[in-house]
Amino acid sequence: MPEANQVAQNPAWVAQAPAKKGTTLVSRAQTLLNRLGYDVGAPDGMVGPRTRTAIKTFLERNGLDQTGDVSLPLVDQLERLSS
């Protein structure tokens, strides 16, 4: 099984890593994006089209690489700007 020796580049569990108070990283990002005026709808912990678009727009407006992915650095940046 060659695939057993490979490491996924962006495993799904990374985006679901616990953030603060039991929420997922994705739902925390959604909450912060909503707070900053990026309408992602109700935080549900799922990266759907609205969340991905909001992330890309946020990254573009802040001169960052527009990956559309939820990451710890993204959430840290959102935390800093929303506090």
Q: Does some domain include residue 78? A: yes
The predicted structure's pLDDT at residue 60: 92
The predicted structure's pLDDT at residue 7: 54
Q: Does some domain include residue 17? A: no
The predicted structure's pLDDT at residue 28: 95
User: Both tokens of residue 70?
Assistant: 């939820």
SS3 content of the chain, % helix, strand, coil (to 5): 50, 0, 45
Q: Does some domain include residue 60? A: no
Look at the chain and report how many structural domains it folds into. 1
Q: Does some domain include residue 81? A: yes
List helix spans (H) across 5-70.
12-15, 25-35, 49-61
The predicted structure's pLDDT at residue 67: 81
The boundaries of the domain holding residue 78 are 22-35+69-83
Indicate the pTM of the whole model. 0.70
Q: Does some domain include residue 82? A: yes
Quote the Cα angle for 43-46-72, to 5°.
85
Which pLDDT tens digit goes with each residue over 9-65?
554 544 455 445 446 899 999 999 999 999 999 999 999 999 999 999 999 998 888
